[in-house]
Amino acid sequence: MNLKSIYCLFIAATLLFFTITSLQAQDTTEGKDFWITFGQNLFLPPTFPLLNLEIRIVSGNAATSGTIHFTHLGTSVPFSIGANETYNYVLTEPQKEAVYNTTMGITNRSMRITSIEPVVVYAMNMLGYGHGDVTNIFPSITLNTEYYQMSYHSPPPTGEDTQCYAVVATHNNTNLFHNGGFITTLNEGQVYYKTDENDMTGARITSNNPVAFFSFHRYTVIPVGALSFGMLQQQLAPVTTCGKNFFVPCSPNTRDVVRIVVSQDNTNISQTGGTIRTDDPGAQNSLSNLQSGQFVDLEVSNIGCHIIANKPIEVCSFLATYTSMTSAPSQSWVPALEQTISNAIVAPFLPVTGTQLNQHVAIVVTPTATKNNTTVSVGGAPPTPLFDGSWIDNAEAEMSFYTMPLTHNTASYNFTNQAGFFLLCYGGGFGTSYYYSSCFAMRDLSAAFTANDVPNTEMSDTIFKECDITFVANVSGIHPNPGSLNWYIDDEPQPDLTDLLTWSRDFATGTYVIKMTVLFIDGSTETYEGTLNVQLRWIKIRNVRY
């Protein structure tokens, strides 16, 4: 054993005692800090007797406590929750008025949830007899500064501003822009609520500080001419989390509408399993050469839909009511396959007021080859595998999905699969439903490569104190010809690393510029780089035998 090996072992054994500055990837939608606001349900006031606003908090393997703070009221409600349990909080009438937006402008109608241990948070906006939706809430650590609005058109003619979005500031002096035009400046906890009669899908919302972005629709039918109407509610993830490879399962409705919004010019999309809808206002009729902010609608059924793009895209799945009133319109964010996770906690969302909801399910999406490795534990019980033949396979995508009924109202469901998966949750009944993406990763996919899980765009802010530093390329669509991917260190080519997506190397103390060039299938070439700051801590070791 040489001195370097001894040093590496020493560092591994005493790592907890050293301060190492390193950014870690956000593995799940669990967190300890969340911002929330609500949009208007139909055209009802917050005091409407049957309007129900609820928060559901799901714990993991550790009991925890925290607070629900109402910015407008300046008051907080404490909560505590055991391990593998759910906590449901129903907002009082003053609290509903403090978080419910009805008119365009700036308010303090936000709430903030903080906890000691990580939890998963959901929000429901539901009328007692139906018409509502549920959204997952993203931890503050995952928020960013660029979003694209994703909603659906209104049933013409309406004459009302049914399209809405809301932005919650998480920092003071937050400047907000809509399609590049300055809107306003917000302070922490303030909300900007925007309404419009027209479909705002594709609008680009940017800011100088991270914000929470919510899409709402007061009243819509999906598709045009459908029998059932309802409201939409979905917190949207930032552009940095958008990927290029998607699999969209089909809901229990067996026929859904999928909308794709493009984030960059000259985006080309291929898909299998969907049919382009040509009668949706504003939607493009082609999947080729799409420009930033443009969108395409697909009709999806049966075995789901596989979507691949050459540049990052945003995908949402909408519950549609084609031939019956067994559900109502609802909206779910769909994560990219680059955002799968190995462990997730969910629970059914049950309104405390009267409701037509009578079906609650979790839709598990995972690779076909390892689908039978998926397990579920209910309320902390021993995990059981999901291999009873209920899987629906998509051969082209090599993906499968499993629709599992959620019948325990108070226990949490803990799903695991080391091969990776994500979850959507659905609730349905006569004239009502909800649909939301429950658990997935929130990795920064805008980073072309990482160094010890730190994105290349954030490497310069990180001090690396490791024996080996591992680099991973995070790009797809690379040209198959040899030499399409090349690495450089301080502008010096590294021939031994050509076409390697993953490599490791020791670095002495110093500063290095790491560069990666990629030739893509479409013939374009991109260059990505990051600055690597290395500070090795050498320790004098005496009387070592080896």
510 in a structural domain: yes
198 in a structural domain: yes
CA pair distance 313, 446, nearest whole angstrom:
11
At 465 the pLDDT is 76
At 357 the pLDDT is 80
Cα angle value 426/431/432 (rounded, 5°): 35
Cα angle value 425/118/438 (rounded, 5°): 10
Query: pLDDT: is 158 or 431 the higher one?
Result: 431
What type of residue sits at position 449?
A: F
Tell me: do 189 and 250 sit in the same domain.
yes
Tell me: do 250 and 326 sit in the same domain.
yes
Beta 463-464 vs 525-534: how paired, if at all?
Answer: parallel
CA pair distance 413, 487, nearest whole angstrom:
44
542 in a structural domain: no
Please enumerate in sequence order all residues whose Cβ is within 8 A of that of 500, keeping only pairs 6 or more positions apart, or say none: 473, 485, 487
Tell me: do 374 and 457 sit in the same domain.
no
Question: Tokens standing for 530?
Answer: 């990051």
Domain end (from 416, 439, 462): 439
At 524 the pLDDT is 77
Q: What share of the chain has pLDDT > 70, as a percent?
A: 89
294 in a structural domain: yes
At 190 the pLDDT is 98
For residue 257, the cross-strand partners are 299, 318
CA pair distance 132, 434, nearest whole angstrom:
7
Tell me: do 435 and 490 sit in the same domain.
no
At 466 the pLDDT is 63
For residue 425, the cross-strand partners are 362, 436
Tell me: do 490 and 431 sit in the same domain.
no
Residue 13 — pLDDT band, cuts 50, 70, 90? very low
Tell me: do 412 and 463 sit in the same domain.
no
546 in a structural domain: no
Domain end (from 382, 407, 439): 439
User: What's the CATH code of the domain at 463?
Assistant: 2.60.40.10
Residue 307's H or E segment, with its range, is strand 305-319
Tell me: do 45 and 170 sit in the same domain.
yes
Residue 93's H or E segment, with its range, is helix 93-99
Q: How do residues 234-267 score in pLDDT, each as one tens digit?
A: 999 999 999 999 999 999 888 899 999 999 999 9
Tell me: do 133 and 8 sit in the same domain.
no
Cis peptide bond prior to 223, omega within 30° of 0: yes
At 468 the pLDDT is 81
Q: How do residues 379-427 score in pLDDT, each as one tens digit?
A: 888 999 987 778 999 999 999 999 999 888 777 788 999 999 999 999 8
Q: What share of the chain has pLDDT > 90, as a percent?
A: 61
Tell me: do 77 and 97 sit in the same domain.
yes
541 in a structural domain: no
At 156 the pLDDT is 58
Q: How do residues 14-49 score in pLDDT, each as one tens digit?
A: 322 222 222 233 456 889 999 999 999 988 999 998
Biggest CA-to-CA distance, the chain: 85
Phi, psi of 93 (to 5 degrees): -60, -45
69: exposed, middle or buried (C-beta count within 10 Å: 0-12, 13-18, 19+)?
middle
At 70 the pLDDT is 98
63 in a structural domain: yes
Task: Count Cα neighbours of 124 within 13 Å in the Cβ-side half-sphere.
Answer: 31
Given a cut of 50, is residue 11 above it in pLDDT? no
What's the Cα-to-Cα distance from 436 to each of 5, 246, 256, rounded to whole Å?
A: 49, 16, 13
At 412 the pLDDT is 79
Phi, psi of 228 (to 5 degrees): -120, 140
Residue 73 — pLDDT band, cuts 50, 70, 90? very high
At 373 the pLDDT is 94
Cα angle value 114/117/120 (rounded, 5°): 70
Q: How many domains does the chain have?
A: 2
DSSP helix/strand/coil, 260? strand
Tell me: do 220 and 342 sit in the same domain.
yes
Instruction: Give the lowest-confidence range in 2-11, 113-122, 278-287, 366-375.
Output: 2-11
Phi, psi of 337 (to 5 degrees): -65, -15
Structural domain containing residue 66: 31-439
Q: How do residues 321-363 score in pLDDT, each as one tens digit?
A: 765 556 688 999 999 998 999 988 887 776 666 667 878 899 9
For residue 143, the cross-strand partners are none
Tell me: do 176 and 253 sit in the same domain.
yes
From 360, 383, 379, 354, select the one nearest 438 (Cα to Cα). Answer: 360
Q: How do residues 187-201 score in pLDDT, each as one tens digit?
A: 999 999 999 999 999
What type of residue sits at position 444?
A: D
DSSP helix/strand/coil, 99? helix
16 DSSP assignment = G
At 536 the pLDDT is 64
Residue 454 — pLDDT band, cuts 50, 70, 90? confident
Please enumerate in sequence order all residues whose Cβ is within 8 A of that of 68, keeping only pairs 6 or more positions apart, or say none: 55, 76, 77, 79, 89, 111, 112, 113
At 358 the pLDDT is 79
Domain end (from 439, 468, 502): 439
Question: Tokens standing for 447?
Answer: 């980073």
Phi, psi of 13 (to 5 degrees): -75, -25
CA pair distance 316, 215, nearest whole angstrom:
11
At 289 the pLDDT is 96
Q: Is the CB of residue 101 less than 8 Å from the CB of residue 39?
A: yes
Phi, psi of 17 (to 5 degrees): -90, -5
Residue with tokens 């089909």: 250
539 in a structural domain: no
The structure's pTM equals 0.83
Tell me: do 244 and 281 sit in the same domain.
yes
Question: Tokens standing for 532?
Answer: 């690597």
Query: pLDDT: is 222 or 26 the higher one?
Result: 222
From 284, 266, 204, select the one nearest 238 (Cα to Cα). Answer: 204
For residue 421, the cross-strand partners are 341
| Cα 22 to chain centroid, rounded | 23
Residue 147's H or E segment, with its range, is strand 144-148
125 DSSP assignment = E
